[in-house]
A and B are shown apart, each in its own frame.
Chain A
């Protein structure tokens, strides 16, 4: 009854996000030149979960995939230092990178999942720069795989995965079969700090370079960004003396 083949390979998709957001002067987007990137916090949690599953000997290999320019390699190295076995860097640069959205990334992930014969794909639930919360769901749809999103607890049981999901009403527990896509929510785990010996070992782990064209993926975006603006500056509040004044002010500004 025991089979080690059921969960062989996990692909995690750590995305890097900007550490500092400034809108470009022409309102066409956000400044990315020279701004430091770091791994998306939800993706750190995803990588940690994958490494934990490997440490429990429930899966054999963790592959870290990142789509983007040269800098994405740093994100992959961090995932390797946390315990992933090897990395794949899907090179997307320049104009293509600016329009790279969840749909394109999902297509890439779907193609890679088939190529690598993965049993599980784990991603962060959303990137903190665009807050799309779409990549996991789209990837599952493209592959026609079941999905366990907003996971706060994951356990493998034979060839099924039990996922406790954080939903608006509370917690929902579902059981899905592999292969499957999971997205990590905040309370899934606390990501580890890479240990120094693992940082040394990460140097020797392989990162393969792949182009989207090699995977047969078309990166053209179906979305066009019209404008990016900063949120309005917070205005100073007004202090009032009495409750009557408060009600009066609220009526004045049309709130009530």
Chain B
């Protein structure tokens, strides 16, 4: 009964953003969605295969997206951002990722994981120094939390930060850092007080390149190959005291809150990949003939396409709901985790079925289906594995039933 009451009050409080009106997006959002869709169709889709094959960072496109305001969507206009809400961000992310998933992840990491925590926890000075130059697409940032020894187990950070006079000295290795080879700054999480365990982790801002910070080799990944992923190695990396982000010991909390929001962006990326796979399969179903008719006439294909459409649409609604809740300053952790879980599983499901619909053609690089399959896979892993998402959802859910 308690959770039903929560649901009712949520629906009523929305006002013009009521869940019942989710069928029609506000006009600005429709225009934004169309603009991003046009950009993705004209500028990203034609080059996505090449970017993937040659592992090339889409620098020109990132600049253009920066000029449009897409690289800093939540940032207020006075800092150079677009001043838009998370629903707008989700729409933009989905359309961009539909064109090129690698470009999508670069946009997502810059928006949610790099700018996100600075926007929320940074001082006025830090925002000017570390956000403003990163809104134009000229510079991108990254987020260094995972280590070779801990991914899901984020509380066990073994990167250390010790204070020496008026500097912090960082030592340790961070792993799987997206954008690392193309970034001009990073948010790094390091332990400042080992005895306090996860309450002893703090967040730091480190420019790149910087003495004491070096990059490992670029990982040779299955998918999202146009974005760089590598280790960040810190060896007596010295930064001024004012480079600490947020209070001392708040690092874990900052990381978790950042990831909660970042989940919505990644859910949107997964939606883009899923939609691209569905588009590819549906188009093929019209054109490919077998047994004397387009294969779209066969029930086996129809059932697949229907299942794919349901998976995408339900994940999309979950993503929009999480975004709307966040924009309304309502609790959104459970919904964001649900969105990421649903969208990433939709992406892997849809891209898998798309290859099946395309048959042999789905297996070769002439068609984009194989790239969607490879790009989709990571969405179930980064920014919180599907297993972690289930733990988060269960945790939030059980809280609701506590009397």
Q: Do A and B come from one complex?
A: yes
Judge whether A236 is part of the interface by a CB distance below 8 angstroms: no
B30 cross-chain contacts in A, Cβ below 8 A? 74
Q: Are A200 and B28 in contact (CB under 8 A)?
A: yes
Q: Are A196 and B38 in contact (CB under 8 A)?
A: no
Binary interface encoding of chain A residues 61-99 relative to chain B, with 1 for a CB under 8 A from any of its CBs, else 0: 000000000000010011001000000000000000000
A203 cross-chain contacts in B, Cβ below 8 A? 27-28
A202 cross-chain contacts in B, Cβ below 8 A? 28, 31
Kindly provide the distance from the CB of B225 to the nearest chain A CB, expressed in whole angstroms: 26
Q: Which of A228-242 contact B (CB under 8 A)?
A: none
Q: Are A193 and B83 in contact (CB under 8 A)?
A: no
Binary interface encoding of chain A residues 200-227 relative to chain B, with 1 for a CB under 8 A from any of its CBs, else 0: 1011000000000000000000000000
B27, B39, B83: the one within 8 Å of A197 (CB) = B83
Q: Which of B72-128 contact A (CB under 8 A)?
A: 73, 77, 82-84, 88, 92
B35 cross-chain contacts in A, Cβ below 8 A? 81, 193-194, 196, 199
Judge whether A28 is part of the interface by a CB distance below 8 angstroms: no
Number of A-B contacts (CB under 8 A): 47
B64 cross-chain contacts in A, Cβ below 8 A? 193
Q: Which residue of B lies closest to A36 (CB)?
A: B34
Q: Are A200 and B27 in contact (CB under 8 A)?
A: no
B70 cross-chain contacts in A, Cβ below 8 A? 196
Q: Are A196 and B39 in contact (CB under 8 A)?
A: no
Q: Are A196 and B84 in contact (CB under 8 A)?
A: yes
Q: Are B27 and A196 in contact (CB under 8 A)?
A: no
B45 cross-chain contacts in A, Cβ below 8 A? none
Judge whether B32 is part of the interface by a CB distance below 8 angstroms: yes
Q: Are B67 and A196 in contact (CB under 8 A)?
A: no
- DSSP majority for the B interface? helix
A194 cross-chain contacts in B, Cβ below 8 A? 31, 35, 68
Judge whether B223 is part of the interface by a CB distance below 8 angstroms: no
Q: Are A199 and B32 in contact (CB under 8 A)?
A: yes
Judge whether B141 is part of the interface by a CB distance below 8 angstroms: no
Judge whether A27 is part of the interface by a CB distance below 8 angstroms: no
Kindly provide the distance from the CB of B74 to the nearest chain A CB, expressed in whole angstroms: 11
Q: Which residue of A lies closest to B66 (CB)?
A: A195
In the complex the two chains form, what is the Cα distance from A94 to B73 in whole Å? 40
A77, A78, A81, A200: the one within 8 Å of B83 (CB) = A200
Binary interface encoding of chain B residues 37-57 relative to chain A, with 1 for a CB under 8 A from any of its CBs, else 0: 011000000000000000000
Kindly provide the distance from the CB of A198 to the nearest chain B CB, expressed in whole angstroms: 8
Q: Are B39 and A199 in contact (CB under 8 A)?
A: no
In the complex the two chains form, what is the Cα distance from A78 to B34 in whole Å? 10
- DSSP majority for the A interface? helix
Q: Are A193 and B39 in contact (CB under 8 A)?
A: yes
On chain A, the number of residues with a Cβ less than 8 Å from chain B's Cβ atoms is 13
Judge whether B251 is part of the interface by a CB distance below 8 angstroms: no
In the complex the two chains form, what is the Cα distance from A160 to B39 in whole Å? 36
Kindly provide the distance from the CB of B229 to the nearest chain A CB, expressed in whole angstroms: 28
In the complex the two chains form, what is the Cα distance from A81 to B69 in whole Å? 13
A197 cross-chain contacts in B, Cβ below 8 A? 69, 77, 82-83
In the complex the two chains form, what is the Cα distance from A195 to B136 in whole Å? 12
In the complex the two chains form, what is the Cα distance from A196 to B64 in whole Å? 12
Q: Which residue of A lies closest to B73 (CB)?
A: A196
In the complex the two chains form, what is the Cα distance from A203 to B30 in whole Å? 12
Q: Are B68 and A81 in contact (CB under 8 A)?
A: no
A77 cross-chain contacts in B, Cβ below 8 A? 27, 31
Q: Are A78 and B31 in contact (CB under 8 A)?
A: yes
In the complex the two chains form, what is the Cα distance from A193 to B32 in whole Å? 10
In the complex the two chains form, what is the Cα distance from A32 to B13 in whole Å? 38
B34 cross-chain contacts in A, Cβ below 8 A? 78
B38 cross-chain contacts in A, Cβ below 8 A? 193
Q: Which residue of B lies closest to A80 (CB)?
A: B31
B77 cross-chain contacts in A, Cβ below 8 A? 197
Are A195 and B68 also in contact (CB < 8 A) when A77-B27, A202-B31, A203-B28 are?
Answer: yes
In the complex the two chains form, what is the Cα distance from A199 to B77 in whole Å? 13
Kindly provide the distance from the CB of B121 to the nearest chain A CB, expressed in whole angstroms: 24
B88 cross-chain contacts in A, Cβ below 8 A? 196
Q: Are A81 and B31 in contact (CB under 8 A)?
A: yes
In the complex the two chains form, what is the Cα distance from A78 to B39 in whole Å? 14
In the complex the two chains form, what is the Cα distance from A197 to B92 in whole Å? 13
B39 cross-chain contacts in A, Cβ below 8 A? 193
A78 cross-chain contacts in B, Cβ below 8 A? 31, 34
Kindly provide the distance from the CB of B128 to the nearest chain A CB, expressed in whole angstroms: 19
A81 cross-chain contacts in B, Cβ below 8 A? 31, 35
Kindly provide the distance from the CB of A38 to the nearest chain B CB, expressed in whole angstroms: 8
Q: Which of A15-34 contact B (CB under 8 A)?
A: none
In the complex the two chains form, what is the Cα distance from A203 to B32 in whole Å? 11
Are A200 and B68 also in contact (CB < 8 A) when A81-B31, A81-B35, A194-B31 are?
Answer: no
In the complex the two chains form, what is the Cα distance from A81 to B88 in whole Å? 15
B31 cross-chain contacts in A, Cβ below 8 A? 74, 77-78, 81, 194, 199, 202
In the complex the two chains form, what is the Cα distance from A81 to B38 in whole Å? 14
Kindly provide the distance from the CB of A113 to the nearest chain B CB, expressed in whole angstroms: 27
B28 cross-chain contacts in A, Cβ below 8 A? 199-200, 202-203
B92 cross-chain contacts in A, Cβ below 8 A? 196
B84 cross-chain contacts in A, Cβ below 8 A? 196, 200
Q: Which 8 pairs from chain A and chain B are nearest by CB?
A: A196-B69, A196-B82, A195-B68, A195-B69, A194-B35, A203-B28, A199-B31, A199-B32
A-B contact pairs, 20 of them (CB 8 A): A78-B31, A78-B34, A81-B35, A193-B35, A193-B39, A193-B64, A193-B68, A194-B31, A194-B68, A196-B32, A196-B35, A196-B69, A196-B84, A196-B88, A197-B77, A199-B28, A200-B28, A202-B28, A203-B27, A203-B28
User: Apart from A193-B64, A196-B68, what are 13 other A-B pairs with CB-CB below 8 Å?
Assistant: A74-B30, A77-B31, A78-B31, A193-B35, A193-B68, A194-B35, A194-B68, A196-B88, A197-B69, A197-B77, A197-B83, A199-B35, A203-B27
B contact residues vs A (CB 8 Å cutoff) = 27-28, 30-32, 34-35, 38-39, 64, 67-70, 73, 77, 82-84, 88, 92
